[in-house]
Amino acid sequence: MADSERTVDFGFEKVAAADKASRVRSVFESVAGRYDVMNDLMSLGAHRLWKHFTLSLTGLRPGQHALDVAGGTGDLAAGLLRQVGKTGRVVLSDINPAMLEIGRDRLLDAGHVGNVECIVADAESLPFEDNSFDCVTIGFGLRNVTDKAAALKSMHRVLKPGGQLLVLEFSTPTAPGLKPIYDAYSFKVLPLLGGLVAKDADSYRYLAESIRMHPNQEALLEMLREAGFIQARYHNLTGGIVAVHRGYKI
């Protein structure tokens, strides 16, 4: 079936597969300037701890190569650069030029020059050679991809044998009693904050809906295995609100 005929989730809405990427792009273009401030407000700063934990799993060494997919404003990329050092290389990619520009400027302002590239790229068809990277990360980006299976296969392709993928993403709460509290926060407080701070309540309503439509922990784990990753597993964080999935390429 052609993308013009196939429908996919855009939050709770169904849209043509061919239209989702542009719809997602408009969401992030709208909130790019306030994205980092909103992350701190929405998570009460916890997103920094989630990213720190993800970075602690990379196993990267000085001189190695890493790719941050859908890396936005560059938080994970900055951490990867510290790990690979001056002799290593990090590529920050995002499908959204507005987000990527902010990430590039932040990395340059932090003094990262010479061993970082910023590239506009679609996660479903990454423009890199096979077996290019020792580690690939994607933080809070997979749920916005139209074809998640294609993106996972693309990330698998560009990993070197023995390389690791780390997927940091919102997931399904597992702690007893957490879900109703989390739902109330997501659908009432989040759009309110988005309206007040980012002047865009609708975009943050979409973000809350996109989290609910994302595969849960076990479903995403199976998707990693189907994409060819071995030793696939996940770590729940903050009662399952967030999970880090990981797997290796043979």
pLDDT at 36: 83
Entry pTM: 0.93
Q: What value does the mean pLDDT take over residues 142-158?
A: 97
For 122, the token pair is 């679609």
Query: Please, are residues 64 and 84 in contact by the beta-carbon 8 Å criterion?
Result: yes
CATH number of 7-174+206-248: 3.40.50.150
Q: What value does the mean pLDDT take over residues 94-119?
A: 94
pLDDT at 152: 98
Q: In this predicted structure, which of 40-44, 127-131, 142-146 has the lowest mean pLDDT?
A: 40-44
Question: pLDDT (tens digit, 9 = 90+) per residue, 186-245?
Answer: 999 989 988 988 888 998 899 899 999 999 999 999 999 999 999 999 999 999 999 999
Question: pLDDT (tens digit, 9 = 90+) per residue, 39-95?
Answer: 888 898 999 999 999 999 999 999 999 999 999 889 999 999 999 999 999 999 999
- DSSP assignments along the chain, one per residue: --TTT-EEEETTEEEEHHHHHHHHHHHHHHHGGGHHHHHHHHHTTHHHHHHHHHHHT----TT-EEEEET-TT-HHHHHHHHHH-TTSEEEEEES-HHHHHHHHHHHHHTT--SSEEEEE--GGG--S-TT-EEEEEEES-GGG-S-HHHHHHHHHHHEEEEEEEEEEEE----STTHHHHHHHIIIIIHHHHIIIIIS-HHHHHHHHHHHHHS--HHHHHHHHHHTT-EEEEEEEEGGGTEEEEEEE--
pLDDT at 41: 87
Please report, for the chain, the start and end positions of each structural domain, with discontinuous segments joined by +: 7-174+206-248
pLDDT at 29: 84
Q: Which of 123, 217, 205, 229 is nearest to 170 (CA)?
A: 217
pLDDT at 4: 57
Average pLDDT score over the chain: 94
pLDDT at 197: 85
pLDDT at 38: 84
pLDDT band at 33; cut points 50, 70, 90: confident
